Amino acid sequence: MDGENLDRRIGRRIGFAIVLTAVTLVAEVFGGLWTNSLALLSDAAHVFMDLFALILSLTAIRLASRPATDRRTYGWHRAEIFASLINGTTLLLIAFGILHEAYDRFLHPQEVKAFEMFSIAIVGLVMNLLAASLLHQHSHDDLNVRSAFLHVLGDAMASVGVIIGGIIMHFTGWYALDAVVSALIVLIIAWGALRILREAGHILLEGVPRHVNLQELVGKLRQVKGVNDIHHLHIWSICSHISALSAHIDIEPEYRLGQGEIVGEIEQLLETEYHITHTTLQVECSSCLTGPVIQQLTHRQRRSGLCSHGHPGDDHNHGH
């Protein structure tokens, strides 16, 4: 499936998930106010963040489909990572808010309409599971969809907690359990948020994709016939779907005339075994034959008086 059709399919699934989540939100807000259940209102707050996350995810997909320009040569693919970062941050904020309210409610329990709370939580659970099923297929290889999927899945788990709490309160009258369930929801929210923030931060800091073992990759590149060594290697993720690599390839002298075939074999290896689809390979690099595998980047002062094409006399300098 090509990228455009994949994004369209993901977009449709997220759209359906948005509708289901909106229905859940309305039901739990009214249900929480009606039953006086903090756990249900906490779940509703989580559902609201689910809805926010899904809308952000859909927006990010739309932005990522915009073409690259001379100002943004990678296009808008990183928009999905920013959406994930916002999702994770907002999840943490809502978790702290719920925890504060749960503490007050635990100290001063209030009566809850447990049976009605249980019934509404059942509706929420069904909607959450339907939404999660729509997102699950693409949650393994797309951080943006994964962040939205974790939102919805976490809320489904929270709904289970609300259901169990409703049953216990109905038969025992232990209304402090409402606050305990809310605190458990906080743990679910916070765990998912930290995972999202960690992965989004890893990509924004140009970290090596987690599915890539760098030493193993270098070893396989060195085994390609005609390759003497690898230097100045960089591997990073542009977004969840696109990994990139740049490197200097030292070709053995007797294979210089066949360097095009060697580069082609390396590109095929990278795509089939590591899903690295964007490569920049420099060969016959005599100046770096003794260089390190991983190049250490350093800051350098810009040369004044050069334009972007290196011509003197132009004040516009785009170099780094």
How do residues 183-228 score in pLDDT, each as one tens digit? Answer: 887 887 788 788 888 988 999 999 999 889 999 999 999 999 999 8
**Is 283 within 8 Å of 263 (Cβ atoms)?**
yes
Q: Strand 227-237 to strand 276-283: parallel, antiparallel, or no bridges (unpaired)?
A: unpaired
Helix runs in 65-208, H state only: 79-107, 114-136, 143-172, 177-204
Low pLDDT (below 50) residues in the chain: 1-2, 308-320
For position 79, what pLDDT does the model report?
A: 80
Radius of gyration of the chain (CA): 26
Helix, coil or strand: residue 238: coil
**Is 158 within 8 Å of 61 (Cβ atoms)?**
no
pTM of the model: 0.69
* Domain 214-288, second-level architecture: 2-Layer Sandwich (3.30)
Domain segments of the chain: what residues? 3-204, 214-288
User: Can 3-204 and 214-288 be said to share one CATH topology?
Assistant: no
**The residue to which tokens 């907002």 are assigned:** 90
For position 318, what pLDDT does the model report?
A: 42
- Separation CA 235–CA 276 (nearest Å): 9
The CATH number of the structural domain formed by 3-204 is: 1.20.1510.10
- Separation CA 68–CA 88 (nearest Å): 27
For position 320, what pLDDT does the model report?
A: 39
